[in-house]
């Protein structure tokens, strides 16, 4: 605790500089808020914020409803989709290639690997 307390005086210039910078930014922002642009922007925002939020909310709700509709359309078919996906991916597993004679050695080409994969798929 004493060490932290002793280091505080060294931080004083940093704190004073930061406070001065924040004050400058606040003064600049305050002056800018009085310009015609910001006055007009605030007036437009006040008039349009409610319809904008309602509009974005309705659009977001429509997107969610559409996504739910797509999921709902596929739900009755999920057993068949899952079985087909399993049969496609399970029979072509790269793990089945380990130890294959045709794949041993450093001269195996991608074409040879593909043929080996195709033959292992045909055998399954």
In a domain, 47, yes or no: yes
pLDDT level of residue 9 (50, 70, 90 thresholds) = confident
Task: Say if CB 116 and CB 103 are below 8 A apart.
Answer: yes
CA pair distance 88, 108, nearest whole angstrom: 25
- Domain assignment of residue 65, given as a range: 30-73
Q: What is the pLDDT of residues 26-35, one digit of tens each?
A: 999 999 999 9
* Separation in Å, CA 40 to CA 26, 54, 60: 20, 22, 28
CA pair distance 18, 35, nearest whole angstrom: 26
pTM above 0.85, yes or no: no
Total number of domains constituting the chain: 1
Q: What is the structure's pLDDT at 24?
A: 97
Q: What is the pLDDT of residues 62-103, one digit of tens each?
A: 999 999 999 999 888 888 888 888 777 765 566 666 666 665
Q: Please give the mean pLDDT across all residues of the chain.
A: 83
In a domain, 104, yes or no: no
In a domain, 63, yes or no: yes
Task: Say if CB 105 and CB 75 are below 8 A apart.
Answer: no
């Amino acid at each position: 605790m004493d060490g932290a307390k002793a280091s505080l005086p060294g931080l004083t210039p940093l704190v004073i500089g930061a406070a001065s910078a924040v004050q400058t930014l606040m003064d600049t922002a305050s002056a800018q808020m009085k310009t015609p642009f910001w006055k007009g922007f605030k007036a437009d925002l006040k008039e349009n914020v409610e319809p904008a939020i309602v509009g974005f909310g309705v659009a977001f709700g429509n997107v969610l409803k559409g996504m739910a509709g797509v999921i709902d359309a596929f739900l009755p078919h999920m057993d068949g989709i899952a079985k087909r996906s399993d049969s496609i991916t399970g029979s072509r597993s790269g793990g089945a290639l380990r130890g294959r004679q045709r794949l041993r050695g450093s001269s195996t080409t991608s074409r040879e690997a593909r043929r080996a994969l195709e033959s292992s798929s045909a055998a399954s």
